[in-house]
Every structure is written in C-alpha cells, then in structure tokens.
Homo-oligomer: A and B are copies of this chain.
Amino acid sequence: MKPADDVERIQREMTVFARRARAAAGRMHPELSLVSYTLLGHLEESGGCRATDLAAHYALDKSTVSRQVAALERAGLIERRPDAEDQRVLVLHLTEAGRRILAQVTESRRAAFRERLADWPAEDLARFADYLVRYNAGPAPGRHDQGPTARTPD
C-alpha cells in the first residue's frame, strides 16, 4: 500500500476516533467535557502550566482556554496561582478535587478503552501510543503552535 493511502487512512480514522471519543465523553461524564478532561490531564502531566501553554498545545484560541479555565476554577477543579517570576502569568494547578475527578474519569475511560483494547498485544499498544506521540510532536499542519518560542499566529 502506498504511503499516501496510509496518510489518508490515518486522517480518516483519527477523525472517526475523535468524533466518537467526544460523543462518548459527553455521554459518560456530563460533568467534564472532553476538552476539560484533556486540560486537566495536561495540567496533571505537566504539573502546572500557563493558559497560553494550553492554548498553544491544543491549537485553541486564548479566549477559549480562558473561559474553559474560568469554568474549571469555578468548579473548584483547578486554581490559578500568580507566578513569582512574572506578574502577568497565572500558573494553573490542579486542586485536590480536580485531581480526584480526573482520576475518576480517567479510570472510567480507561476501563472502556481497556475493554476494546483487551485483545491487543501490549507491544502493539505501546507502539500505537508511540506513533501518536511522535506524530503530535511534529509541527502542527498549517499552523504554528506550541514550542518554547511559539510565535503568535498572526
């Protein structure tokens, strides 16, 4: 099979996945949208970061992230701490409640995933994850985002 075909398959299947994941997330956890969940996950993984970092990483507008973050804060799942280095910056951290909810949803999602991935060899699973990471590590298509020296889009 030609690589170009694989590229198309990748695009298509990724989209299918995304759509279903969104639907499933909304269905399973009305309290935590897929985006919110993802943001929380990112916070946990990064151990706290700025709103701008989130925006860059997910190719979202500042304002969108700002609102999402505000909602998460209102819900008591994260807190914003001023940065000592830079007064403009608000570093986002998970609260205990946030950590708890996140773990809960993660576990629930994981269970669902595990079910459908049950018959996958661990090796394939790892390789699949590696592929995704590798893919996303590259520059975003048609848009510059993320990265230490991310420049503003326009």
A residues bordering B, Cβ < 8 Å?
A: 1, 3-4, 6-24, 27-28, 34, 38, 41-42, 45, 57-60, 106, 109-110, 112-117, 120, 122, 124-129, 131-136, 138-143, 145
Min Cβ gap A92→B in Å is 17
Main secondary structure of the interface of A (DSSP, over half): helix
CB atoms of A38 and B60 under 8 A apart: no
CB atoms of B20 and A133 under 8 A apart: no
A-B contact pairs, 9 of them (CB 8 A): A3-B117, A8-B110, A9-B129, A13-B136, A20-B140, A24-B59, A27-B142, A27-B143, A128-B128
CB atoms of A10 and B132 under 8 A apart: yes
Min Cβ gap A33→B in Å is 11
Query: How many chain copies?
Result: 2
Q: Which one of A21, A109, A120, A141 has the highest number of Cβ atoms from chain B below 10 Å of its Cβ? A: A141
Known contacts A18-B18, A114-B4, A127 near B133 by CB under 8 Å: no
Known contacts A8-B106, A110-B8, A127-B127, A15 near B27 by CB under 8 Å: no
Those 7 A-B pairs whose CB atoms lie nearest each other, nearest first = A18-B18, A13-B132, A23-B59, A112-B141, A9-B129, A24-B142, A6-B129
